[in-house]
Structure 1
Amino acid sequence: MSNKRIALLAVLTGATALGRIVMAPVPNVQPVTVILIFLSIYMGLADSLIVNALVIFISNMYLGFGPWTFYQILSYSIIIFLSFFLSKIKKFKNSMLLQTVFAAFSGIFYGFIISIFTAAMFSKTTNFFVYYLNGLYFDIMHGVGNAVLYVLLVPPLKIALAKYKKL
């Protein structure tokens, strides 16, 4: 891994972690999912997984660690793998609309995955679907936030990545 690539990943990690911390007061609206999807599509699997683990670890230093930290990393990793494999489909990789729809879906899917883990860990007596439906509003906010942030963040990120590749 070159110094240039390490520097790029460090900047993306720092910006994403800061975005997560700054957006924490707005329930489930954050740039993490969007940037990880972007990275997995345009930079690859390894870079996305590295940024994923670092962002969650660094931002949780401020937001709080717990057993959910591992589940957050795992849930984002599943989304990264999905977006990476979808990026192999030319129509998906070339379509901002399909990527935006996937980003919205990912917010809801992330909440579903996290709910599976947290319900199993914290709620032995509650029906999973009752538990999940109680948080569905927040997952929908995550999905809508992802769609909006994807449209806002990806065009400048593409320009920045193009300039990085020319250096």
Structure 2
Amino acid sequence: MRKKLVYRLAIIAILAALSSALRIWMAAFPNVKPITAMFFAFAIVLGLSDSLWIMALTMLATGLLLGFSPLVLGQIIVYAIIIVIFKGLSVLTDNIWFLSALTALLAMIFGVLISFISGMIYGFGAGGFVGYWLAGLPFDLAHAISTFIFFPIVMLILRRIKTLK
């Protein structure tokens, strides 16, 4: 039992470190990040709980390096919401293209929700976030497209690793 817990914690720590390194490495490309696809793939392969831990640790670690603000807590909350939604809907099918399309849609929803939270934090109010979201729409589209592209790649890698175990 203890050995399994140590193994699980090691996997979470290693994948959080990998996700953090990839997020920092890709910082030059706004919203083109493999980590969203990775969090979704982790939810399928490792389970919801481990995926949420990896996501939270990644966002906290990269927040410390890229700039920490109240928005990091908002990112953790919004990521948790979309990962839970994804995990719930992913049981309907294992079709990789449907799941990739779902990840892209959820990445767009991430953009809407994070714009709402940003608007609340930075003083635009609940109704003033629309302009804020529209201004960020190209970044949200880049996020959705990159998540759609990265998800099948990450799933392929994780499934191959899992079969080697």
Q: Same-fold call, TM > 0.5?
A: yes
Q: Does 1:45 align with 2:45?
A: no
User: What aligned pairs does 1:122-137 form with structure 2 within 5 A after superposition?
Assistant: 122-124=122-124, 127-137=128-138
Alpha-carbon distance in 2 for matches of 1:161, 1:10? 17
CA–CA distance in 2 between the matches of 1:52 and 1:42?
A: 14
Measure the CA separation in 2 of the matches of 1:31 and 1:37: 10
User: Which deviates more, 99-108 or 67-76?
Assistant: 99-108
Distance in 2 between the 1:153 and 1:77 partners?
19
- Per-residue deviation, residues 12-58 of structure 1 (Å, max 9, x unmatched): 11111111000011000112211110111222111011111100011
Structure 1 residues 143-158: aligned runs within 5 Å: 143-158=144-159
| Cα distance, 1:158 vs structure 2 | 1.4
Deviation at 1:76, TM superposition (A): 0.5
Q: CA deviation at 1:80?
A: 1.1
Query: Sequence identity, in percent?
Result: 29
Q: What residue in structure 2 maps to residue 64 of structure 1? A: 67
1:104 maps to a residue whose letter is A
CA contact (8 A) 1:33 1:106 kept: no
The residue type paired with residue 160 of structure 1 is: I
The whole-number CA distance in structure 2 between the counterparts of 1:135 and 1:6 is 36
Q: Secondary structure of 2:136's match?
A: helix
- In structure 2, what is the Cα distance between the partners aligned to 1:72 and 1:62? 15
Q: What is the rounded CA distance, in whole Å, between the counterparts of 1:127 and 1:2 in structure 2?
A: 46
Q: Where do residues 71-82 of structure 1 align in structure 2 (5 Å cutoff)?
A: 71-82=74-85
* Corresponding residue for residue 115 of structure 1: 115
1:162 shift after superposition: 2.6
Question: Which residue in 1 is equivalent to 2:37?
Answer: 34
Tell me which stretches of 4 or more aligned residues in structure 1 moved more than 4 Å: none
- Give aligned pairs, total: 161
